[in-house]
């Protein structure tokens, strides 16, 4: 296994996905990390589903680059595809790479879409992944 492929397997493991999870993918293009995609598919023991799928998803991998359009709209469109505890893994190019997305843009889009960023994972040589989830609702105190 190459160092890059090994890194992708490690990154996929940190996403918390497991066999049987249904994972969708949006924003696919030639520049995505194919080793990471393969490692995710291996982890869930299935192919990633495209954004036309009718399945309720445990996760969506959203590949996003500066210039792809409105990130808020993309996040809002992904939320209804998710199971109640489903998450979006927002994958953006790393700092200094073509298509880099400013953290302030990610934060604003996340907040506007009603999501919260919970963690980030180094996705390999070119991509960072941010875990976006619905905020946990606290118990009402009386």
pLDDT digits (tens, 9 = 90+) for 116-125: 999 999 988 8
CATH fold, domain 3-133, is Rossmann fold (3.40.50)
pLDDT digits (tens, 9 = 90+) for 33-60: 999 999 999 999 999 999 889 999 999 9
Beta bridge partners of 29: none
Report CA-CA distances (Å) from 69 to 11, 54, 90: 27, 24, 14
- pLDDT level of residue 5 (50, 70, 90 thresholds): low
Would the pTM count as exceeding 0.75? yes
């Amino acid at each position: 296994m190459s160092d890059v492929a090994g890194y992708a397997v490690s990154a996929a493991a940190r996403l918390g996905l497991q066999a049987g999870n249904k994972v969708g993918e949006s924003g696919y293009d030639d520049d995505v990390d194919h080793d990471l995609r393969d490692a995710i598919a291996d982890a869930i023991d299935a192919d990633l589903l495209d954004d036309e799928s009718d399945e309720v998803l445990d996760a969506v991998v959203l590949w996003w680059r500066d210039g792809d359009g409105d990130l808020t709209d993309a996040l809002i469109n992904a939320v209804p595809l998710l199971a109640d505890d489903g998450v979006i893994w927002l994958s953006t190019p790393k700092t200094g790479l073509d298509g880099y997305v400013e953290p302030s843009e990610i934060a604003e889009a996340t907040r506007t879409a009603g999501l919260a960023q919970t963690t980030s994972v180094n996705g390999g040589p070119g991509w960072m992944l941010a875990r976006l989830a619905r905020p946990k609702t606290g118990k009402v105190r009386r």
